[in-house]
Amino acid sequence: MATIYSLGDASDHETIKNRLKKEVDPKTGNPRFSLATGFSLLLFYTFAMQCMSTLAVVKRETKSWKWPILQLIYMTMLAYLSALLVYQLMN
């Protein structure tokens, strides 16, 4: 987030938290990041397959692309559906 909002400079005293609080959706005027958004992102990053080296190891161990592809699809669907469910319930 610090990279996205360019907060890497030491002379910049604004924190990420303050910057995210000021972020507003231009269409609705509501805050862009809410508690529902935070929890849904947290769940997505918890369940999503983020480590490509894990897929490579599974491919090497099984000597097949079947299991890494299945693992990638399953983890992505689990991450997306859990994030969607939490966002819809909290919003």
Per-residue pLDDT reduced to its tens digit, 33-90: 889 999 999 999 999 998 999 999 999 999 999 999 999 999 999 999 999 999 999 9
- Which of left, alpha, beta for 13 (phi over 0: left; psi -120 to 50: alpha)? alpha
pTM of the model: 0.76
Per-residue pLDDT reduced to its tens digit, 3-42: 777 776 645 556 777 888 888 888 888 888 889 999 999 9
How big, in percent rounded to 5, are the helix, strand and coil portions of the chain? 60, 0, 35
